[in-house]
Amino acid sequence: MTTLRPRTHRLIVLALATLLAGAPGLAELGKLTGSVQADQLRLHASLRHVAFTTHVRHELTLPNGGTVREFTNPAGQVFAVRWAGPGKPDLRSLLGDHFEAFRAANVGQTGRFERLSRRPLVADGTALKVAAGGHMGYFWGLAWLPALVPPGVQPSDLQ
């Protein structure tokens, strides 16, 4: 998976949790970015920040080749996370309070929902959208919070 060590998980979780709690701010973004940089050194991972006109991408590349990309809006709120790599990330941490809703959306019918057409895991609510997929030994996905997405930004912009 996009291997996040516990501390990295926690930091991203903190950022997302703050975001989800509705009390984000630039200070949180600064803290997140600095902490991720510290983890970058510890994990021997590479980190890049790329600024777009509508948002900023923070990309952590992990030793196993996996990536986690966080996207922040002009207010410093993490509004989307995209992952890809040779394992599944800790979505319980990445999605925070939304994880249970995501899980329920995919297992709430004793597995029949997903077996029905074997489509990858999804959440399609108004507060949270998740799509995920993959193949043997490689998994990807995108989670986003529609309410926080900068105007004009589409999922395809979040590469």
By CB under 8 A, name the binding residues for another protein: 1, 3, 5, 63-65, 82, 86-93, 99, 102-103, 106-107, 111-112, 114-124, 129-142, 154-156
Torsion of CA 156, 147, 140, 14, to 10 degrees: 130
Cβ of residue 27: shortest distance to another protein, in angstroms?
28
Expressed in angstroms, the distance from the first to the final Cα of the chain is 18
Distance of alpha carbon 29 from its chain centroid, rounded?
15
Q: Which is nearer to another protein, 25 or 100 (CB)?
A: 100
Q: Which is nearer to another protein, 22 or 115 (CB)?
A: 115
Cβ of residue 20: shortest distance to another protein, in angstroms?
17
Walk across the sheet containing 122-124 and list its strands.
Answer: 46-51, 56-61, 67-72, 78-85, 138-144, 129-135, 122-124
Q: Which is nearer to another protein, 37 or 87 (CB)?
A: 87
